[in-house]
Amino acid sequence: MGGSKVVRAIFGSAEPTPEASGKVRLVKGVALVRGGRALLALRCLGGPCKGQLKLVARVEKGKAKNPVIGKRSFSFASGAKKTLKVKLSGPAMREVAKRGKLMALVKGGGVVNSIVKLKSVEKKH
């Protein structure tokens, strides 16, 4: 190496960046409900996706706070598409059975927040 040279070093954090850890998002805005479980079609965006998904009932303004009606942990490979089966609470199942549908917020660690319509596929008696 002849003569003087300038060398620049850039040091970064060993912590993963938000892009390195992926996010899960809904593929469809409708999830079928069968056997007490909501079947959510999900896709992993970015690096491996890992976290906890929560379904939160949407209630009218001025009513009690929005209750968690189902939750489930998940772990997907980058780019993977899966159907996650989320067990619903008793009150949520009764509401779906009564009305045939229920709107819910999809939230949680590693989840892109969105809204899903839970739709019953079971026949009313």
- The structural domains of the chain, ordered by start, are 23-120 (2.60.40)
pLDDT digits (tens, 9 = 90+) for 62-107: 666 779 999 999 999 999 999 999 999 999 999 898 999 999 999 9
pLDDT digits (tens, 9 = 90+) for 22-60: 899 999 999 999 999 999 999 999 889 999 999 998 766
- Parallel, antiparallel, or unpaired: how do β-strands 30-34 and 114-120 relate? parallel
Cα–Cα distance, 97 to 9 (Å, whole number): 62
Cα–Cα distance, 108 to 111 (Å, whole number): 5
The angle formed by the CA atoms of residues 42, 93 and 36, to the nearest 5 degrees, is: 55
DSSP 111: B
pLDDT for 92 equals: 92
Count the Cβ atoms, other than its own, within 10 Å of residue 50. 15
pLDDT for 122 equals: 72
